């Protein structure tokens, strides 16, 4: 993971006259919070026409980290290697040629579990399955985060509520503000192709937010487990076999009523014979009355 603009809180401190003389050190009044054990990348810009071509040397806890050169607009990038939890001292020297024109120092507080994403693994799916799950992002830092935006990328089709689908595997959108100890729930739909290879895959999440006057970016990863399709087939087959075995029971229930219909069929036959006999008797009586001698 890395945090974009982790040193951005120093920008205003660098808005000084870059005269060719050594400047007194400037102390940052607001500490910089970073996740523990993660590399930190910051972009620092010097708002001056003289800033282009300047060099900056960065130190953390009195140890040299790296040296960078400002681009044509006076911005350069510095990278801090992962820090252990606790307080650290960030110190930068700004040079114009061989002359140091500014010194900046700031307190860096490295926090374990500053931002959490759960659950991990996010879901376990079979090949060919589509599932809706919930992803929770919690702010455990001591600062409120505003304008929080999320980008998620998966190796298979993904959807997310209130987010724009950039392409089949990437969604992006805003989730608003994230106050201290606040948790945001994001509805995510994962669709695993039927020919997808089983295994454990990383769902990459990049979260950007504003804290104070600085903009940060934190990438995370959560696992998604894909299993063989038909992992639950034996149970389905058992259910199917139970259904099939139940069919004779239904047939037996029907056959239980069939003797009743067998008893009724002779009764109906005798009824028809009786009606036919009475009809023949009536017809015979009519014929006799018509044909008898008068």
Give dist(CA 202, CA 198) in Å, integer: 13
Task: Count the alpha carbons within 13 Å of 104 in the hemisphere toward its beta carbon.
Answer: 26
- Supply the mean pLDDT for the chain: 73
What superfamily would CATH give domain 8-111?
Answer: Immunoglobulins (2.60.40.10)
Burial class, 195, CB count within 10 angstroms (exposed 0-12 / middle 13-18 / buried 19+)? exposed
Q: Does this chain's domain 8-111 share its CATH topology with 115-227?
A: yes
- The single-letter DSSP state of residue 8 is G
User: Mean pLDDT, to the nearest integer, of 199-223?
Assistant: 85
276: CB partners within 8 A, 6+ apart: none
Report whether 89 contacts 62 (CB < 8 A): yes
User: Mean pLDDT, to the nearest integer, of 260-274?
Assistant: 49
162 vs 37 pLDDT, higher one: 162
290 vs 114 pLDDT, higher one: 114
99 vs 182 pLDDT, higher one: 182
Distance from chain centroid for Cα 271: 76
Query: Is the per-residue pLDDT at 87 higher than 80?
Result: yes
- Would you list the domain boundaries of the chain? 8-111, 115-227
What superfamily would CATH give domain 115-227?
Answer: Immunoglobulins (2.60.40.10)
Query: Is the per-residue pLDDT at 64 higher than 60?
Result: yes
Query: Is the per-residue pLDDT at 33 higher than 60?
Result: yes
pLDDT bracket for residue 252 (50, 70, 90)? very low
């Amino acid at each position: 993971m890395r945090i974009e603009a982790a040193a951005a809180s120093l920008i205003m401190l660098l808005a000084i006259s870059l005269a060719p003389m050594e400047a007194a050190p400037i102390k940052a009044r607001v500490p910089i919070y970073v996740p523990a054990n993660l590399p930190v990348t910051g972009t620092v810009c010097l708002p001056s026409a003289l800033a282009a071509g300047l060099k900056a040397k960065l130190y953390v806890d009195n140890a040299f980290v790296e040296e960078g050169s400002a681009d044509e607009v006076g911005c350069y990038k510095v990278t801090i290697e992962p820090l252990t939890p606790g307080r650290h001292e960030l110190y930068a020297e700004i040079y114009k040629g061989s002359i140091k024109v500014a010194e900046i120092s700031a307190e860096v507080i490295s926090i374990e579990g500053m931002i959490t994403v759960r659950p991990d693994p996010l879901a376990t799916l079979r090949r060919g399955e589509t599932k809706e799950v919930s992803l929770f992002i919690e702010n455990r830092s001591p600062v409120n985060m505003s304008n929080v935006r999320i980008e998620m990328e998966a190796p298979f089709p993904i959807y997310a509520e209130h987010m724009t689908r950039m392409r089949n595997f990437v969604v992006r959108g805003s989730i608003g503000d994230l106050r201290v100890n606040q948790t945001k729930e994001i509805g995510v739909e994962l669709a695993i192709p039927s020919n997808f290879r089983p295994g454990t895959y990383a769902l990459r999440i990049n979260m950007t937010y504003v804290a104070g006057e600085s903009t940060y970016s934190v990438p995370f990863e959560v696992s998604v487990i894909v299993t063989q399709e038909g992992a639950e087939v034996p149970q389905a087959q058992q259910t199917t076999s139970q259904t099939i075995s139940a069919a004779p029971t239904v047939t037996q229930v029907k056959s239980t009523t069939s003797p009743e219909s067998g008893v009724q069929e002779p009764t109906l036959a005798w009824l028809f014979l009786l009606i036919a006999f009475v009809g023949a008797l009536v017809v015979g009586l009519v014929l006799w009355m018509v044909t008898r001698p008068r």
